[in-house]
Amino acid sequence: MTARLTILASGSAGNSALVECDGVRWLIDLGLEPKELDARLASVDADWSQIRGVLMTHRHSDHWKPKSLSRCWTSRVPVYCHRDHAPAFRLGCPDFRDLEQARLFRPFVGERSIAISENWKCRPLRVRHDGGATFGFRFESPQSAFAYAADLGCWDRGLLERLADVEVLALEFNHDPELLRQSQRPPWLVRRILGDEGHLSNEQACELVGEVLKESTTNQLRQLVLLHISRECNSGELAAETARATLAQFGSAAEVFAAEQHEPSPWFVIGESLPDNGDRSRTPLVQAMLF
């Protein structure tokens, strides 16, 4: 009943992640051109023939590339997304109509869970963002859970409850507000990013992590993965430092990993058996180092 997650790419130049539940592989987002996506998949020993489905967060161009969406048609891989994503996909990717006709377009039904594998299901989590209907995902088995949420401008109690009690939390840490204000970005863009439908700052993400830890009934968070880090208005080091301070404040021993734009992350493993002493918080992430 184990699962694992690797972030193939994260940031404004393209986003994609690979999930494996009970050996069944799914992609989250297709924000890389086909050649690059193939290369990233190959570097984690994966390829399109293994992909059982694709989950789409939203329609911003850093999350889907028309030619990569076409690969879903040529590989006959179903695409799970919100109904509102379809017009943009139809317009940008002529093969999307074939996908629809072949019933490989599978729209979300509210936040109803999608079967991922024998033991795992995925619940789409609606978030606020200016890309139209936008979603994060909570994956759960009867024994464990993990979650992925990038591209959200704010969060509320409903979201934090859905992110509670996960072993791995992949969450947007987009910008440092001060660096953003000092950047060369035009005022409208700064306002957009800072707004409730923009992107989470390090501070906002840390507040959410703190609330998630308070809400969680067990101290099982083992890995916090920082997503969509701005190259100009943040850094992996700064985001990680902020995240570590919050984890320490709440007594969490979770490790922090800042996802990169240009190379896949290690695999993060979920649902491993507990060590003999049952203290999950002390389990080293050996797998993360090996892959």
b/e per residue 181-206 (b: at least 16 CB within 10 A): eebebeeeebeebbeebbbbbbebbb
Stretch in the footprint of Zn ion (CB under 5 A) among 45-53, 59-67, 180-188, 279-287: 59-67
In the complex with Zn ion, the residue whose CB is nearer, 20 or 62, is 62
- Least distance to Zn ion from the beta carbon of 131, Å? 4
| Tokens of residue 181, six digits | 């204000």
Let me know if 97 is exposed, middle or buried by CB neighbors in 10 A (0-12, 13-18, 19+).
Answer: middle
In the complex with Zn ion, the residue whose CB is nearer, 140 or 151, is 151
Closest CA to 165 of 235, 221, 101: 221
- What's the angle, vertex CA 277, arms to CA 274 and CA 280, rounded to 5? 45
Does 153 bind Zn ion (CB under 5 A)? Our answer is: no
- Least distance to Zn ion from the beta carbon of 11, Å? 8
Q: Where are the beta strands (DSSP E) in 167-285?
A: 168-172, 223-227, 255-258, 268-270
- Least distance to Zn ion from the beta carbon of 217, Å? 32
**HSE, side-chain direction, 13 A CA sphere, residue 133:** 16
CA 48 to centroid of chain Cα atoms: 19
In the complex with Zn ion, the residue whose CB is nearer, 21 or 133, is 133
Selected from 59, 60, 85, 222, the binder of Zn ion by CB under 5 A is 60
In the complex with Zn ion, the residue whose CB is nearer, 40 or 60, is 60
Selected from 20, 29, 140, 151, the binder of Zn ion by CB under 5 A is 151
Does 175 bind Zn ion (CB under 5 A)? Our answer is: no
Does 62 bind Zn ion (CB under 5 A)? Our answer is: yes
What is the residue whose two structure tokens read 């999307």?
Answer: 96
| Tokens of residue 153, six digits | 């401008």
In the complex with Zn ion, the residue whose CB is nearer, 151 or 176, is 151
Stretch in the footprint of Zn ion (CB under 5 A) among 103-111, 145-153, 240-248, 271-279: 145-153
- Least distance to Zn ion from the beta carbon of 57, Å? 8
Residue sitting closest to Zn ion (CB): 60
Size of the site for Zn ion (CB under 5 A): 4
Say how many C-beta atoms besides its own lie within 10 A of residue 26's C-beta: 25
In the complex with Zn ion, the residue whose CB is nearer, 191 or 282, is 191
Stretch in the footprint of Zn ion (CB under 5 A) among 88-96, 100-108, 123-131, 205-213: 123-131
Selected from 131, 136, 153, 271, the binder of Zn ion by CB under 5 A is 131
Stretch in the footprint of Zn ion (CB under 5 A) among 60-68, 136-144, 261-269, 276-284: 60-68
In the complex with Zn ion, the residue whose CB is nearer, 151 or 255, is 151
What values do phi and psi take at 133, rounded to 5?
-60, 125
Stretch in the footprint of Zn ion (CB under 5 A) among 2-10, 69-77, 129-137, 213-221: 129-137
- Least distance to Zn ion from the beta carbon of 98, Å? 26
Determine the Cα–Cα distance for residues 134 and 263; give it in Å rounded to an integer: 25
Sheet of 3-9, strand order: 105-107, 79-81, 51-55, 24-28, 16-21, 3-9, 268-270
Interface residue list for Zn ion (CB under 5 A): 60, 62, 131, 151
